[in-house]
Every structure is written in structure tokens, then in C-alpha cells.
Amino acid sequence: MSQTLTADARPAPVFEIDPAAFWHDPYPTLRRMRDEAPVAFVPQLGAVLMTRRDDIFVNEKKTEIFSSDQPGGLMNVLMGQNMMRKDGEAHKAERAAIFPTVSPRTVRDVWKAQFESATEAVLERVRPLGRANMVTDIAMPISGEALKCITGLTQIGWAEMDRVSQGMMDGIANYAGDPEVEARCNDCTAAIDRYIDERMPALQAAPDHSLLSVQMQAGLPERQIRANVKLAISGGQNEPRDVIGGAAWALLTHPEALRSVMAGQVGWIQVFDEYTRWIAPIGMSPRRIARAHVVEGVALQPEDRLFFMFGSANRDERIFDDPDRFDLTRDCGPSIAFGAGPHFCAGAWAARCLVAEVALPMIFDRLPGLRLDGAVPFGGWAFRGPLRMPVAWDV
């Protein structure tokens, strides 16, 4: 836990990782870090990792120390300074401006019907085929169509939405500095700017609940509008996609859990909550140390880079019994899959609605006899989900 700065505080211990193995499956390494070095510097990532749930839960709220304002960070450099990279009043003001898009009422009254219509169209297209890749053929277009509605960029296709989202996600995770990855990211952000330019006149004439429109109505500066739309696209595509596919896989590999859901003994929202605890789609969130501080006896210095490891926190043995097990009877209340502080994911209500109220129940209803049709590899530690998921069903 947090402590005041003391003379006996020690520098962060160095914890070496195998980057390839960590990307393939980070959980064994994170377990060792929680046990041996819960606050440690990982040279392969160039950051201090905080891995225990209670440390993260307490310290994420201390924005005066663990700052989201990272002027030199990849997200700011590549996408502009969005509200996620601000603290205090600046963050609160922009969060309030976008609330009309993501409020529980708007999700219920505006977006849910559009989610249902788009999901129905996707499933009607694939149902006669009898087999598909759940990730690219089902979850990806469902997520992309939902994001088109929410952002207001309705003129582009779901495949283009996925392309620009993935390009930006690769760019802001490009800690190795690969110039080709950076170039793709820049191409994607430029494309989004063009799409915003195309939609602004229509939304000026006929405002709606979309993110682009409500920010224009709130009078936010254009640079902030653009940065926040890019933020929504960067996270709002891959995360629902990965949870839709991943949660379907979890149920198909845990038949007793699936039977309990289909019998109405367990709700779809419990599937969502337990899956996002078990395999957090957002595995970490970066922070800049704004002033000297001590956590778990480790001295953190100004301008250090630190990662809150949500994917580790949600498998902390100090909080969850048998945390590596997918268990629909579990109390997921302590989970911090969407964060624990003022930067709690603004899109959480929309994600829950899309995945738990619409996509998962419709997939299992419209595709009878749904089953796996091959191996399902997973990848990633900052963002994690199934890479491909061959499935089949009865036609």
C-alpha cells in the first residue's frame, strides 16, 4: 500500500520478462510479480509495473501523484491530448461534455435498439454459412457497427472502423518505436480527421446523441473533439470485439456455465463481469509519476513511467479465490476491469449493453448448436483477446 516518503525506501527492483512469452500469456509472470515484486521495474517495457489489486485501487485515485497527463506519451503524440490524458478539472469538464452520449439513459433509449438492429443484420448474413471466424466475421462487425453509431461516423464501413482502430492501438502500444507501426497509426488518424470533416456539416444542421455531435453542441475546441473521437475509436472497437469473442469462447469451453446461462439461472451480465475480470480486455493503464512517492517500500521518482496492471489486479489471490478459474458464481464486485478512479471507463454502460444485453444472447439464440471448430489462440497483455476463433453451428 502507499506510504509516505522515507529514508529507507528502496529503488524499484528490476524484474526481467520474456516479452514474447508475456504477450502469449502474461498471467504466470504477473503471478510471480504479485508474490515476489509487486512494484517492480521491467526493463523490457521501460516502466514500473504495479500488480496487486489493492495497490492499484488506492493509488489510481491519487492523480496528483499518478498523473494521466503524459505530454510525451505515445497517445498524446499520435492522437492528440484526449480527456483520458488529463486530470482534475480539465478531465471532469470533458467527461461532462461527452456524458450525453454514454449515459445509461442514452444507452437504453437510443443505442440499444441500434445495437440490436446491427447485430441482427450481422447474424442474418452469416447464419446460412454454418461456420465462421467469431472474431472477424461476427464480433468485429458487431463492434464496428455499434461504434459507428456512437461516434457519429456513420458514413464509413465497419471494416474501416476496425482498421483505423487497430492502427491507433498498435501505435500507442509501439514502445519498441517501430517506424512502420507509427506510419500506419498516422495514416489512420489522418483518415479519422477526414471522416470527422465529412460529418461535421450534417451534425451541425441536425444534432444527435453521437459523440461528435454532443461535443460540437458543448462548444469544445475542435482539437479536443477530434482527440476524444479518436480515443473512443481506439478503445471502443477492439475491447467489445474481444469481449464478445472471448466470452463466447469461455462459455463454449465451460459447458456447465453455458447450460446455467441458457437455463436462465445466471444472467448474461454475470458472464460479462466474470469474463472481463478473468481476461481483462484492457490489461494496463499508463501513468506518469508527478511527484516522489513510496508504494510497498519502493520509491517512485518524478517522471517515472508506471503501468497499473488491471489484468494482474483481477487475478490477485489476495482478493479472489482460485482467480485463474472462470466461475459464474463468483462475486465480481472487487473487479477493476474498467478502472477504479476518476478515469473509470466512460463507455462501460455502452459496452455492457452491447455485449451482455445484445450480442451474446443474440449470438447464442440465432446460431443454434454453436460450437468451436478449431484452436483459439489468445494474445496480448496491454490489450488481450482471441486472435481467431473458428466456430460452427447447425443450419
> Is residue 385 a contact partner of residue 279, using CB atoms and an 8 Å limit?
yes
Query: CA nearest 125: which of 350, 334, 294, 366?
Result: 366
Q: Which amino acid is at 45?
A: L
Q: Which of 12-26, 69-83, 168-182, 226-240 has the lowest mean pLDDT?
A: 69-83
Looking at residue 354, the DSSP 8-state letter turns out to be: I
pLDDT surpasses 90 at 346: no
Give the position of cell 465480481.
Answer: 332
**Average pLDDT over the chain, rounded to an integer:** 93
Query: What per-residue confidence (pLDDT) applies to 9?
Result: 87
Q: What helix, strand, coil percent values describe the chain, rounded to 5?
A: 55, 10, 35
Q: How far apart are CA 351 and CA 382, in angstroms?
A: 18
Half-sphere exposure of 247 (CA within 13 A, CB side): 30
DSSP element (H, E) containing 211? helix 211-218
Angle among Cα 138, 140, 143 to the nearest 5 degrees reads: 105
Query: CA nearest 87: which of 63, 71, 58, 62?
Result: 63
* All structural domains of the chain: 2-392 (1.10.630.10)
Q: How far apart are CA 339 and CA 114, in angstroms?
A: 27
What would the grid cell of residue 369 be?
A: 448448436
Query: What per-residue confidence (pLDDT) applies to 277?
Result: 97
pLDDT surpasses 70 at 227: yes
332 φ, ψ to 5°?
A: -90, 10
Query: What per-residue confidence (pLDDT) applies to 7?
Result: 53
Looking at residue 325, the DSSP 8-state letter turns out to be: S
pLDDT surpasses 90 at 134: yes
Query: What per-residue confidence (pLDDT) applies to 76?
Result: 66
In the three-class reduction of DSSP (H, G, I as helix; E, B as strand; rest coil), residue 72 is classed as: coil
Query: CA nearest 183: which of 198, 165, 170?
Result: 170
pLDDT surpasses 70 at 4: no
Query: What per-residue confidence (pLDDT) applies to 296?
Result: 93
Query: CA nearest 232: which of 218, 204, 213?
Result: 213
Looking at residue 12, the DSSP 8-state letter turns out to be: P
Name the β-bridge partners of 69: none
pLDDT surpasses 60 at 118: yes
Q: How far apart are CA 83 and CA 296, in angstroms?
A: 30
pLDDT surpasses 60 at 6: no
Spell out the residues 6+ positions from residue 331 whose beta carbon is closer than 8 angstroms to its own: none
Please, is 293 exposed, middle or buried when counting C-beta atoms within 10 Å of its C-beta (0-12, 13-18, 19+)? buried
What would the grid cell of residue 362 be?
A: 443474440
DSSP element (H, E) containing 307? strand 305-308
Query: CA nearest 296: which of 45, 63, 34?
Result: 34
- What's the distance, Cα to Cα, between the start and end of the chain in Å? 55
Give the position of cell 484492457.
Answer: 282
pLDDT band at 238, cuts 50/70/90? confident
What would the grid cell of residue 224 be?
A: 479536443
Q: Which of 268-272, 282-286, 388-392 has the lowest mean pLDDT?
A: 282-286
pLDDT surpasses 60 at 1: no
Q: How far apart are CA 349 and CA 198, in angstroms?
A: 28
